[in-house]
Amino acid sequence: MDSDAGSTCSRSSSPDLVVDDSPVNFFSNKMFQTYCEENSEAGKGRSEHCGPGGKNKNRSDPNKEEGQDLRLKVNSRERKRMHDLNQAMDGLREVMPYAHGPSVRKLSKISTLLLARNYILMLSSSLEEMKKLVGDVYGGSAAVQSRTAAHPTITSAAPTAHLSLHPLAQSLHSLVGGTPPTLHHTPSTATPAPHSPPSASFLGFHAPVQGLLKDPLHLTGSYRHFPGMPCPCSLCQPLPTTTSTLHSLSMNK
DNA sequence: TAGGCCATCTGGTCCT
DNA sequence: AGGACCAGATGGCCTA
């Protein structure tokens, strides 16, 4: 009943509603407002029927009207807060090296968080590797330090990730039976804009993996795996090399 | 049909 | 006092 409207706009973290990144625009969205109004009515009904939660105690309160208004306001705020949270989650999904698109099921919240965590860890370790590599190439850490000092943002993990991901992808997906496609190494385009977020194409993966893998984290086959990309499934968990904290990669659910 | 995921409501707690 | 944040409860939708 009441959740019909809710599910319509929230099931997919409001992809239909979010036509603008601005939260203000989002919440001034007519559709959302309509939903809120409808849901407010539904909320009343729900309260009267002692719906979810079943914690309604003062249904016969003399200040019922005021109490209801307050309750509706609080509910609306909470709803808005959760929508903001979902928007942020969508924003996180967008920058994750994972297949996007209408035909690909959206990552769940927990999977998004796990993937993001692994992604960060992988980039961190890749950055360390890159520093070592550059240090070796230029014969000393001084060169590295001078370069990083001059261009702090250029020490983005992107090239690093590209270099170190290659063996990672090979090893991981040979284990799971996937056939990691040849990584496109295009030196001319390998260097991203300094402030551009890491993307799959930048990391050398211009196309999704051909195979869809089953995984033990309840990700259905509709999820696409990128070779070497951090992935919430345990098979694709990157193997940390630098930090001890990386041993707890698989956050216990 | 069971289980996963999600949105929503709700009351409590903490902060400004 | 009002708002933000949190966690528990509940019910709907979807998929295996």
| Positive or negative: CA dihedral A22, A28, A32, A36 | positive
Q: CA Rg, chain A, in Å?
A: 24
Q: Give the model's confidence band at A125: pLDDT under 50 very low, under 70 low, under 90 confident, else very high.
A: very high
> Out of A67-81, A117-131, A187-201, which region has the weakest mean confidence (pLDDT)?
A187-201
The nucleotide whose C1' lies nearest the CA of A46 is: B9
User: Quick one: pLDDT at residue A47?
Assistant: 35
User: Quick one: pLDDT at residue A141?
Assistant: 52
As a whole number of angstroms, the distance between CA A226 and CA A200 comes to 8
- Considering only CA atoms, name the residue closest to the C1' of nucleotide B3: A218
| Main-chain dihedrals φ then ψ at residue A22, nearest 5 degrees | -70, 125
Which range of A34-43, A97-106, A197-206 scores highest in mean pLDDT? It is A97-106
Q: Give the model's confidence band at A63: pLDDT under 50 very low, under 70 low, under 90 confident, else very high.
A: low
Q: Which residues contact A163 (CB under 8 A, 6 or more apart)?
A: A126, A129, A130, A133
**Strand C nucleotides below 7 A of a protein CB?**
3-16
User: Quick one: pLDDT at residue A140?
Assistant: 60
**Strand B nucleotides below 7 A of a protein CB?**
4-11
pLDDT tens for A216-251 read: 333 333 344 444 444 444 434 443 333 333 333 333
Nearest CA among A79, A116, A104, A124 for reference residue A209: A104
Measured from the CB, is A110 under 7 Å from any atom of strand C?
Answer: no
Q: How far apart are the first and last CA of chain A?
A: 31
Is pLDDT of A123 > 70?
yes
Element (H, E) at A149: helix A141-150
User: Quick one: pLDDT at residue A131?
Assistant: 93
User: Quick one: pLDDT at residue A110?
Assistant: 86
Q: How far is the CA of A188 from the C1' of B3 (A)?
A: 49
pLDDT tens for A11-42 read: 333 333 333 333 333 333 333 333 333 333 33
Is pLDDT of A73 > 70?
yes
> For A156-174, what is the mean pLDDT?
36
User: Quick one: pLDDT at residue A130?
Assistant: 94
Measured from the CB, is A66 under 7 Å from any atom of strand C?
Answer: no
Q: Give the model's confidence band at A181: pLDDT under 50 very low, under 70 low, under 90 confident, else very high.
A: very low
